[in-house]
Structure 1
Amino acid sequence: MDMNRKRLDGDVPAPLLVTPAHAHCDLAALLAERASEIKDDLLEHGALLFRGFAVDSVEKFGAVADQIGNARLNYTYRSTPRTSLGGGVFTATEFPQSQEIPLHCENAYQRDWPMLVAFCCLTPADVGGATPIASMREATQAIGAALMDEFEHRQVKYVRHYRPYVDLPWETVFQTDDKAEVARFCDSAGIEHEWLDEETLRTGQVCQGVANHPVTGEKLFFNQAHLFHVSSLGEETAQSMIDMFGADQLPRQSFFGDGSDIPADVLQAVRDGLNRKAYDVAWQRGDVLLLDNMQFAHGRRTFSGPRKIAVTLSNPYSGHLPG
């Protein structure tokens, strides 16, 4: 046996901890040899943490990612700031250290998303910086059948306003400085788009509120309404944003699919459901964490000191297309 498996923490079922059975075990080679087995483990547990394999460079992580995923996403139509490290490898979201990133499933604000998210710890933070994860099966149960039905039938609409020096510029989000190319992308993705003036772009897109896992068939809560809604910034900051831009032209906001407001208690119920049994993965240098993006949400705790986490998004899936 080239690897050992056990629970990382006896009180939680995931992530499953995988460690080498002997020194100097190459993780990329091991994954190439045991690819089918690892994929079965990921489907069963939803989250795998490889520790002790010394994956401590972008090149080593890229080699690992080559064995576990296909068709890496280029992260077009971006929601957060990241830096490309080459070859479809990016930094984790580069929000300020003092800002916590709430639990969410990657790209759940789109109709297409990666099924596999892989993280690699190149440099752990001096203090804090853990990645909390949460089972979407448990979160879905905590959110409850009534809200699940409401989100399934009403869906979620994401509205964004792009202006110079506010949030992400449209050139970064769409990875182009050509307005015609933006129009083509939006048309193909079913995104409403309108230039309010020469520099201000408004987009709107209705996406799923829940989704069925393509392999397990489970119906899961799957959207980012709680993350896009201005209330995620906190009451004081949210009010400042409304005062500055107006409630109808916020940099980003979420609604039900018909454009009606999502009540504050509904958003809080979602956040409570996600946070109910979150588990913090405290990073060690060289760790690799694999997440089934529909089975597990992830976030980020605040931290101090240097922290560098590399990420790949792969195995693309379309929630709105057959197959």
Structure 2
Amino acid sequence: MMKIESLGTSSAKIIYGENHTDLLTLSVQEVLNLFEPSGVLLFRRFGVTPTQMRAFSEKFSSRFVLEPARRIVDSSGNGFVQLVDEGMDYVPPHCEHASSPFRPDVVWFCCGVPAAQNGETLFWDGVRAWEELSEEVRQLFLSKKIKFKHHFPAIAWKIFFGSDTTIADVERALNDLDGVNYLIKDDHSIYMEYTCSAVVKTKFSNQYAFANSILYNHRNKTVFFEDGLPFPDEVIEEIQTVMNRLMEVIRWQSGDLVMIDNSRFLHGRTAFDDTKRQVFSALSYLNGSP
């Protein structure tokens, strides 16, 4: 029998291991039955290592995607585990790869060493965020798509697609994707624009969710409306106010594992200054996903 408690005020849940329970013995179907309505599952007291996270996530996943900015620490199976080591600053609400057509279903994190202070992972329910935005802002995002602009050096896309990937392979991968326009430059870097809705339907409940990377990319001025116009300041302020109100916190303990529905929940991080902090990640598509 698993001990299960609510995590914060959202639908998220904590699952506690007891008597040195082996994470890999948990029923995949039972976990999915909890995950689908909850959207965030925190597994605590299982003593999860990065290798165990890879093995556990493989049970649920058909394939994995990489984050080019992160170092790979385990690729011994079909999955990839990476060290989340890009800086120590605050990270605003975002969904993984939501600014591209390669958005995974699940974000996995496990904690090797928590920061001595701060460094918590934050999360926000995009369904609740959508419900709490004003009718005016909801209508704005239903009527206008958003556009992300990216520049990928050759080294970045070779990490993402694989070191043996050719320009022809990249063209085949991008040509038929909805919302994608791109230009391959002489140095083999890629300029890409990705147009999509800021509002998505959740994978399991088919609800509207304001689950995107607007606040994350807005600070770098790499996201706009489809017509190229910037977001009004008052719209950004309203989104930030709603997110501040809905923010939930994961206060890491060593050996924790978290499983996040990337179609519904946004995540981020508080700033920290402890160089010993170690949090690992994996990004995957669930079995049965296209």
**TM-score computed with the length of structure 2 as normaliser:** 0.86
Equivalent position amino acid for 1:277 in 2: L
Aligned pairs (5 A) from 1:123-138: 123-138=113-128
> Which SS does the other structure have where 2:148 is aligned?
strand
Aligned counterpart, 1:241: none
Preserved contact between residue 91 and residue 308 of structure 1 (Cα < 8 Å) = no
Distance in 2 of aligned mates of 1:222 and 1:318? 22
1:81-129 deviation line (CA, Å, top 9, x unaligned): 11222142332543211x1111112222133422222211122222221
| 1:213–1:286 Cα change, 3 Å | same
Aligned partner of 2:95 among 89, 102, 105: 105
Distance in 2 of aligned mates of 1:53 and 1:121? 11
> Which SS does the other structure have where 2:64 is aligned?
coil
| 1:65–1:161 Cα change, 3 Å | closer
User: Which protein has the larger Cα radius of gyration, Structure 1 or Structure 2?
Assistant: 1
Specify every segment of 5 or more residues in structure 2 that has no aligned partner in the other structure, as ranges: none
| 1:162–1:215 Cα change, 3 Å | closer
Count of residue correspondences:
284
Distance in 2 of aligned mates of 1:183 and 1:8? 43
Aligned counterpart, 1:273: 242
1:157-184 deviation line (CA, Å, top 9, x unaligned): 11123469xxx85544554574333333
Equivalent position amino acid for 1:6 in 2: E
Q: Does 1:60 align with 2:52?
A: yes
Q: How far 1:215 moved relative to its partner? A: 2.5
**TM-score computed with the length of structure 1 as normaliser:** 0.78
1:134-168 deviation line (CA, Å, top 9, x unaligned): 1112211222332222223211111123469xxx8
Q: How far 1:317 moved relative to its partner? A: 10
Aligned counterpart, 1:293: 262
| 1:196–1:89 Cα change, 3 Å | closer
Preserved contact between residue 27 and residue 64 of structure 1 (Cα < 8 Å) = yes
| 1:195–1:5 Cα change, 3 Å | closer
Q: Does 1:24 align with 2:20?
A: yes
Aligned pairs (5 A) from 1:1-323: 1=1, 3-9=2-8, 12-20=9-17, 22-29=18-25, 31-32=26-27, 35-55=28-48, 57-67=49-59, 69-75=60-66, 78=67, 81-84=69-72, 85-86=74-75, 87=77, 88-97=79-88, 99-162=89-152, 169-172=156-159, 175-176=162-163, 178-190=166-178, 191-195=180-184, 198=187, 201-229=190-218, 232=219, 253-303=222-272, 304-315=274-285
> Which SS does the other structure have where 1:305 is aligned?
coil
Preserved contact between residue 94 and residue 214 of structure 2 (Cα < 8 Å) = no
Distance in 1 of aligned mates of 2:106 and 2:277? 22
Distance in 2 of aligned mates of 1:125 and 1:273? 27
Preserved contact between residue 81 and residue 282 of structure 2 (Cα < 8 Å) = yes
Equivalent position amino acid for 1:300 in 2: R
Equivalent position amino acid for 2:110 in 1: C
Equivalent position amino acid for 1:136 in 2: G
Preserved contact between residue 132 and residue 242 of structure 2 (Cα < 8 Å) = yes
Equivalent position amino acid for 1:184 in 2: R
Preserved contact between residue 15 and residue 45 of structure 1 (Cα < 8 Å) = yes
Preserved contact between residue 101 and residue 299 of structure 1 (Cα < 8 Å) = yes
Q: How far 1:186 moved relative to its partner? A: 2.6
Equivalent position amino acid for 2:113 in 1: T
C-alpha RMSD of the superposition: 2.7
